[in-house]
Amino acid sequence: AGLPLSTTTEGAPALPGQSIAQKTEAAREIEDPIDLVSLRVGRIDSVARHPEADTLYVLSVDLGERSCASTGDELLRTNQCRTIVSGLVPYYSPEQLQGLHAVVFANLKPRKLRGIMSHGMLLAASSSLETDGSLTVEILEAPASSRPGDRIVTLPSAETGACSDSPLTQALEKPLVKKQKLVDLFINGLSLDAGLLSYNGRRLVTECGGEISTRTMLAGVVR
């Protein structure tokens, strides 16, 4: 039997001697989406326009799983390189995206976007200008010194200064998040505070302690 993934405590088994309060707290610990989500640093290695959608890019993203590769203009998930489709055309040129160390929701269930399978999602923040209501979007970025595949963790979990110099090669350890309800709960818990990424009030950083931030935006909705 798997762990309960619902946001309610109904049906959660109580251990002998557990009170209702203890049962509820135990269920909450199990059900926090941050415990199920795998966030990784992904370096954007290649950028191409989607052949069927004007606002979409097809990105080749290195998550440290293996080396990335491409064939001509067709970007593939070859040797475990990630193909990620993202609606960033109105906000970034290909040159601006190239080489960025983005934050990737790495164990999101793959889905087809206008005919191309997308194996993950880049996190970005958005805000509307008060003057004309136009939308500004900025990618959440890890430090340039981060390695592809570095985990993004809550601040108390970060082991600052304890990082190995060798590249991260282990496989993603968490199963795919398939339930949209869990995805929504996780996304709704994200926020941008003074330009830094947080989850339900807890700062998110790389496993080496590097801050996750936007370039210029101080507050906005994270999606």
Q: pLDDT per residue over 113-163, tens digit each?
A: 999 999 999 999 999 876 677 899 999 999 999 999 999 999 865 544 455
Other residues' Cβ atoms within 10 Å of the Cβ of residue 21: 8
Q: Are 110 and 117 in contact (CB under 8 A)?
A: yes
CA distances from residue 6 to 2, 25, 180, 222 in whole angstroms, order as listed: 12, 14, 11, 23
Residue 68, pLDDT score: 52
**Residue 16 counted as domain residue:** no
Is residue 28 over pLDDT 70? no
Percent of the chain with pLDDT over 70: 70
Q: Is residue 5 part of a domain?
A: no
Domain holding 63: CATH number?
A: 2.40.50.140
Instruction: Give 40-80 pLDDT, tens digit per residue.
Output: 999 999 999 999 999 999 999 999 885 455 444 344 444 46
- Kindly report the average pLDDT of the chain as a whole number: 80
- Asked whether residue 9 is domain-assigned, the answer is no
Please report whether residue 188 resides in a domain: yes
Residue 115 lies in a domain: yes
Over range 95-123, report the average pLDDT.
96
How far apart, in Å, are the Cα atoms of 161 and each of 43, 102, 150, 206? 21, 21, 14, 11
- pLDDT over 50 (residue 170): no
Helix, strand or coil, per DSSP, at residue 189: coil
185 found inside a domain: yes
pLDDT of residue 18: 54
Residue 135 lies in a domain: yes
Structure confidence at residue 65 (pLDDT) = 82
For residue 183, tell me if it sits in a domain: yes
Q: Looking at the 3D structure of the chain, how many domains does it have?
A: 1
Yes or no: say if 81 and 66 are a contact pair by the CB < 8 Å rule.
yes
What's the whole-number mean pLDDT along residues 94-98?
98
Token pair 């302690």: residue: 209
Structural domain containing residue 139: 39-222
Find, among 191, 167, 187, 189, the residue nearest to 179 by Cα: 187
Residue 16: per-residue pLDDT? 52
More confident position, 203 or 128: 203
**Average of pLDDT values for 22-28?**
48
What does pTM read for this prediction? 0.75
